[in-house]
């Protein structure tokens, strides 16, 4: 395996008001004083040397990222002037690496997951790299689903590969299905969650990009050759995910490339919302608590106090509720209504951009 790219451009609005424009989800220190980005970087270092790790994220977060990753090379941060979804970030990163080595094997990693054990992650990604290096293959890592989750993408498994019975051809992708469909997928048994982690040779990916999105590919090529024009080129890129633009169209019988999937046998947690954090509380703990908090006769809550002025957050008789206190915002929301936080972000923005 040659290079690793960490995508760290998400906003994480479902973790507002902890996650803000200046401090997105991946930079929050919620897990033993470490951020999700730091965890992702440590995982990447089990695959490649530090000088072969690229981080693609927002320009406004570059200094904060470098503060958290002091060993990141000067030229190894690709600063997006504006977010344009995953295809732009991945295509720019892969094309940048292709300038060094067109046949480089590139692993694309996320910065918003917890994965354990690390040994399983490393073994699976190395195996995926071996599959990607052999031919024009785009490899995605799948996760065995544990519930009919409607917030994840799904992968339908096809035939096992002759040379590796643990890897499968991908028949199709299904993005965030309805509950009835997700339930059916679990019953059928040949659907995995799409982890958002991919492995491919740079030339294989760029060949498919040029075939399926020729105008997009031309702009990426121009960007790599003329990086000084990024503020002109990048905002003009189509905002589309790599799944819709590349992976789904490749899953057709007449495609010159193929998409395959390899299962990751590890605990994989997408830290995308407060209820997920609440579910990570230690066994026997009544609530997930961070900061100066006291709670009586209360269970199933997530209570976070990030004020540093001696402010105390006290709750009593409260159950299954999200309470987050920061300097300028206090959020109180039933756990069952966590999805409504995205609406609150829009309402807060109407009051002042400073709140978001």
CA angle (271 as vertex; 269, 275 as ends), nearest 5: 100
Dig out the tokens for 193 from the structure.
Answer: 């969650």
Which uninterrupted H or E stretch holds 155?
Answer: strand 153-161
Distance separating alpha carbons of residues 97 and 218, to the nearest angstrom: 16
| Length of the chain (residues) | 356
pLDDT exceeds cutoff 80 at 11: no
Dump the DSSP string for 161-209: ETTEEEEEEEEEEEES--HHHHHHHHHHS-EEEEEEEEEEEHHHHHHHH
Looking at residue 76, the DSSP 8-state letter turns out to be G
Q: How many other CB atoms are found less than 10 A from the CB of residue 74?
A: 6
Domains of the chain: 3-270 (3.90.550.10), 274-355 (no CATH)
Dig out the tokens for 284 from the structure.
Answer: 């026997």
Predicted local distance difference test score (pLDDT) of residue 30: 85
Better-predicted residue by pLDDT, 135 or 75: 75
CA angle (64 as vertex; 276, 22 as ends), nearest 5: 65
pLDDT tens, residue by residue, 304-318: 999 999 999 999 999
Instruction: Indicate the pairing of strand 302-305 with strand 321-325.
Output: parallel
Contact at 8 Å (CB) between 202 and 137?
no
What contacts 55, CB < 8 A, 6 or more positions away? 5, 6, 8, 37, 41, 65, 69, 72, 76, 77, 78, 111
Distance separating alpha carbons of residues 154 and 67, to the nearest angstrom: 35
**What is the pLDDT averaged over residues 152-169?**
94
pLDDT exceeds cutoff 70 at 336: yes
Q: Predicted confidence band at 1 (pLDDT cuts at 50, 70, 90)?
A: low
Closest to 76 (Cα-Cα) out of 104, 29, 41:
41
Q: What is the pTM of this model?
A: 0.93
Dig out the tokens for 113 from the structure.
Answer: 């997951």
Residue with tokens 């008789």, as numbered in its chain:
317
| Range in 46-50, 78-82, 131-135, 281-285 the model is least confident about | 281-285
Region of residue 303 (phi > 0: left; psi between -120 and 50: alpha; otherwise: beta): beta
pLDDT tens, residue by residue, 88-135: 999 999 999 999 998 899 999 999 899 999 999 999 999 999 999 988
Residue with tokens 């590890």, as numbered in its chain:
266
- Percentage of residues of the chain with pLDDT beyond 70: 100
Distance separating alpha carbons of residues 133 and 95, to the nearest angstrom: 17
Distance separating alpha carbons of residues 204 and 225, to the nearest angstrom: 20
Distance separating alpha carbons of residues 165 and 215, to the nearest angstrom: 38
CA angle (98 as vertex; 92, 100 as ends), nearest 5: 120
Residue with tokens 């918003």, as numbered in its chain:
112
Predicted local distance difference test score (pLDDT) of residue 281: 85
Which uninterrupted H or E stretch holds 41?
Answer: helix 36-44
């Amino acid at each position: 395996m040659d290079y690793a790219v960490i995508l760290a451009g998400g906003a994480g609005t479902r973790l507002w008001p902890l996650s803000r424009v200046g401090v997105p989800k991946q930079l929050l220190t919620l897990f033993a004083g470490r951020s999700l980005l730091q965890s992702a970087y440590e995982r990447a270092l089990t695959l490649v040397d530090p000088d072969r790790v690229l981080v693609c994220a927002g320009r406004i977060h570059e200094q904060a990222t470098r503060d958290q990753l002091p060993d990141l090379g000067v030229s190894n941060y690709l600063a997006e002037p504006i977010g344009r979804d995953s295809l732009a970030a991945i295509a720019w990163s892969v094309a940048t690496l292709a300038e060094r080595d067109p046949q480089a094997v590139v692993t694309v990693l996320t910065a918003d997951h917890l994965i354990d054990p690390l040994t399983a992650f490393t073994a699976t990604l190395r195996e995926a790299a071996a599959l990607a290096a052999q031919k024009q293959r785009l490899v995605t890592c799948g996760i065995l689903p544990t519930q009919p989750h409607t917030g994840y993408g799904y992968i339908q498994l096809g035939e096992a590969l002759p040379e590796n019975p643990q890897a499968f051809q991908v028949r199709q992708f299904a993005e965030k299905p309805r509950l009835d469909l997700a339930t059916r997928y679990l019953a059928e048994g040949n659907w995995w969650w799409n982890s958002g982690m991919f492995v491919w040779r740079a030339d294989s990916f760029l060949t498919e990009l040029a075939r399926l999105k020729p105008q997009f590919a031309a702009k990426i090529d121009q960007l790599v050759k003329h990086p000084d024009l990024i503020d002109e080129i990048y905002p003009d890129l189509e905002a589309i995910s790599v799944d819709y633009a590349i992976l789904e169209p490749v899953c057709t019988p007449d495609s010159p490339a193929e998409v395959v999937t390899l299962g990751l046998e590890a605990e994989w947690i997408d830290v995308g919302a407060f209820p997920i954090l609440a579910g990570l509380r230690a066994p026997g703990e009544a609530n997930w608590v961070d900061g100066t908090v006291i709670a009586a006769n209360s269970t199933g809550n997530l209570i976070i106090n990030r004020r540093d002025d001696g402010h105390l957050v006290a709750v009593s008789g409260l159950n299954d509720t999200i309470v987050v206190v920061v300097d300028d915002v206090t959020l109180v929301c039933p756990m069952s209504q966590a999805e409504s936080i995205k609406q609150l972000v829009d309402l807060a923005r109407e009051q002042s951009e400073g709140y978001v």
